[in-house]
Structure formats: structure tokens, C-alpha cells
Amino acid sequence: MRIHELGHLVLYVRDLERSRRFYRDVLGWDEVRGEVPLPVPAAAFSSGRTHHELLLIEVGSAAAAMPPGPRLGLYHFGLKVGDSDDELREVVQHLTEHGVDIKGASDHTITHSLYIADPDGHEIELYVDVIPTEEWLADPSLVFAPIRPLRL
């Protein structure tokens, strides 16, 4: 067996409409709409790469919050937003205009990354590739280079 690609993520959310607006209106992800009613309140999103890359399932306001600090489970997921620091600067401006707090910024050598959280606290890495694939494939140690502060 061999994994070909990461297909999709499914996140539980408290308020589907609030999360739908965040992923659609703030992050600009295209929502996949269908006429078939789902058994639970849910919304799907796709960049066009596959049928859906993100599925949100509403679990309601009584759901327990994610505990802070180290824990088992999802730490964050990454969304590629371009291939240059200029594009990442545009993302910073867009997030600021939408009142989204940037929680961190890192230079990972092969990527430059911003970190934000969705309305339920799921951490999201918004990144640009700055090293061509051929380079890190030829030198995989670049993937594990020390993390430095990002200076945009």
C-alpha cells in the first residue's frame, strides 16, 4: 500500500454558519453545494483539486473546547496560499482587514508560514513554498531545517 495524497480533513465545529463564513468569506475557500440533504449539519469546501478537502460538521454549542497546550489529536493543518512572500504579505493584509489575529509567523526554510485559528480554535498554517520541490527532494534535510522567525 502507498498513500497518494492527503485527501481531506473533517472538523467538528460548534456553529456551522459561523465556520462556513470563516472558511468561505475570510479564507476564500469555495464551498461545494449539493441538493441532497445531509444527515447532520455540514458544509464541504474544495480548492478544485478534489471533490472536497475540508468537511465541517456541526456538533453544537455544548461541545467541549479543545484543551490548551500539548494534547493528543490535531495540532494544525496547512493551507498553501501562494509561492512568494509578496503573496504572503497580501494574506497578512487580508487577515488584518477581516480582524483575524495572526498567532505566529515562521521561516521553515522551504516554506514561510503564518499561523491563525478558526472560530473554534483549530490552528491553521497559511504558507507559501519558497524552495522548489526539486531542491528539497534532492536534499530532504531542508525539510527539517531549524525554524527561524519570519521577517516579511
Ranges of beta strands (E only) in the chain are: 9-13, 30-32, 42-46, 54-58, 76-82, 104-107, 111-117, 123-129, 148-149
> What is the band of 8 on the pLDDT scale with cuts at 50, 70, 90?
very high
pLDDT in tens, 98-131: 999 999 999 999 999 999 999 999 999 999 999 9
Rounded Cα–Cα distance for residues 80 and 107 (Å) = 14
User: Stretch 64-93: mean pLDDT, rounded?
Assistant: 94
Domain ranges of the chain: 9-58, 76-149
Q: Which residues contact 68 (CB under 8 A, 6 or more apart)?
A: none
> What is the band of 4 on the pLDDT scale with cuts at 50, 70, 90?
confident
CATH topology assigned to domain 9-58: 2,3-Dihydroxybiphenyl 1,2-Dioxygenase; domain 1 (3.10.180)
The DSSP line for 107-130 is E-SSEEEEEEE-TT--EEEEEEE-
**Given CA atoms 131, 133, 134, 139 in this order, what sign does their dihedral have?**
positive
Residue 88 near residue 81 (C-beta atoms within 8 A)? yes
> What is the band of 69 on the pLDDT scale with cuts at 50, 70, 90?
confident
- Domains 9-58 and 76-149 alike in fold: yes
- Is domain 76-149 given the CATH code 3.60.20.10 in the classification? no
Phi, psi of 26 (to 5 degrees): -90, -50
What pLDDT sits at residue 127? 98
- pTM (predicted TM-score): 0.94
Would you mind telling me the total number of residues written for the chain in this entry? 152
Per-residue pLDDT at 87 exceeds 90 = yes
pLDDT in tens, 12-60: 999 999 999 999 999 999 999 887 777 899 999 999 999 999 999 999 9
